[in-house]
Amino acid sequence: MKGLVDVYPYKKVQNEVKFLILKRAPDVQYAYQWRMVGGKVNTGEPFYSAAIRELEEETGLSPNLFWSIPSLNQFYDHNSDSILQIPPFGSEVDTEVSIALNHEHVSWKWISQEEIDTYIQWPEQKRLMKLLADIVISKQILNEWIIEL
């Protein structure tokens, strides 16, 4: 396995960012947790391609704007005795398209920035969601971060 990716699907409503979160199924890793989109990178697959693929597999959505958040989700995994560094991606999505969950999830919802701490348990994911919201609201997505689709 080459690595992992995180994708933070969002929509901008007036001057607020709403995040799409997914509730994990009972028979998968992170059962019953509310999370963003995430998954494994296949051998030979660029991280950004894996992120787009995971977004489509888990939600049926395609990004309108796709960009690399200028930070990492980083934590220690005792099972592999390694420090994981996971690139995060922001994905602005079309809210008119219906969401089609795959077998890994049982529910979805849109949450506001104020609700992040209520639903998201992992500290780095909380931090990255708040960073994404700050960047989007202040209109500071740099051209260098945007990934052409």
Burial code (b: 16+ CB inside 10 Å, e: under 16) for 95-125 equals eeeebeeeebbeebeebebeebeebbeeebb
CATH number, residue 97: 3.90.79.10
Residue with token string 């919201």: 133
Q: pLDDT tens, 116-146? A: 999 999 999 999 999 999 999 999 999 999 9
Tell me how many domains the chain contains: 1
Q: By residue range, what is the domain housing residue 107?
A: 3-145
Report, as an integer, the average pLDDT of 78-102: 93
pLDDT exceeds cutoff 50 at 1: no
Q: pLDDT tens, 53-65? A: 999 999 999 999 9
